[in-house]
Structure 1
Amino acid sequence: MSHFYFGTDLFNELNRLHQQMPSLFPGTPSSLRSAHLGAFPPVNIGTTDDSIEIVAFAPGIKPDEFDISIDKGLLTISGERKPILSESDTETRPYAQERFVGTFRRAIELPENADPDKVQARYANGCLSISIGKRESSKPRAITVQ
């Protein structure tokens, strides 16, 4: 028997379907604008109480070759991954290439509580780690009753 029920109120049913989408299509990212199979660099996105943590897996790129920007709630990571073999190497004729080579651009929609003034980026062991602080106003706080 199916767990999905469709009644007669269209707007309620659309809302219910929207809520059920993650179970229908597991693993589908909701905040990646250009997410498609094989997108480069692949990313992991997580959150803590104080920050949004993004890790982009981009081995073979120097830290100064990344262009990272935040504009209107959109984090953009771009750059170029150069080939390992030089073009002057005429003896090697590749017949299969699985390593992505060329320019890339990933856009990640940030939650509203992301603070674009609190961003740190570091690159180590082929991983670009970006930490974006959350706005103080969005953090939970205790309220004293008088």
Structure 2
Amino acid sequence: MYRSLFPRDFFADMDRLQREMQQAFDLSPTIRGFGRHSFPALNVGTTPEAIEVYAFAPGVDPQSIEVHVEQGLLTISGERGSPLSQLDERASVHINERFAGKFRRALALPEDANGEAVTAQMREGLLHVTVPRKQATQPRRVQIQPAA
């Protein structure tokens, strides 16, 4: 990929614009799924006991992340700062490919999800959210009483 460090390279800008337009209209799934440009990237899986959600958020302060469950919707939101804001005001940035700013991801939970017992842990940029499933009502035999 060619990317110029000079701010007025017209052909590099047109090449970048063409790639971005092509990616915007490319709706075919990839190894990363349909939401390629979403932050944080998510892995979601299920077990008989729980729904497991892994959010990959490197460089995000755990105190800036919020996890909410409301009406069957799990929401992960927060903000990731930019190290560029700490640069000298005379410095110019030529390439900035790292996402910075507010983010929000939402997932619809299945009906058997227990939103009251959700747990979340963050370690080394990996947020792990566990949503336990409700205990299924066990079938039981009803005893027939003789008529009185």
Listed one character per residue, the Cα deviations across residues 16-42 of structure 1 (whole Å, up to 9, x for unaligned) are: xxxxxxxxx656999xxxx63311111
Q: How many Å separate the matches in 1 of 2:40 and 2:104? A: 8
The total of aligned residue pairs comes to: 115
AA in 1 matched with 2:96: Q
Equivalent position of 2:119 in the other structure: 120
Matched, 1:134 2:133: yes
Matched, 1:56 2:61: no
Q: Secondary structure at the match of 1:86?
A: helix
Q: Secondary structure at the match of 1:80?
A: strand
Superposition map of 1:49-128 within 5 A:
49-128=48-127
Q: How many Å separate the matches in 2 of 1:94 and 1:28? A: 31
Residues 27 and 137 of structure 1: is their aligned pair in 2 closer, same or farther, counting only changes over 3 Å? farther
Contiguous gaps of at least 5 residues in structure 1: 1-24
Query: How much has 1:98 moved relative to structure 2?
Result: 1.2
AA in 2 matched with 1:42: A
User: Hey, which of these two has a bigger chunk of strand by percent?
Assistant: 1
Q: How many Å separate the matches in 1 of 2:135 and 2:43? A: 24
TM-score (norm 2): 0.67
Equivalent position of 2:35 in the other structure: 36
Contiguous gaps of at least 5 residues in structure 2: 1-27, 144-148
AA in 2 matched with 1:132: V
Of all paired residues, the percent bearing the same amino acid is 38
Based on CA coordinates, which of the two structures has the bigger radius of gyration? 2
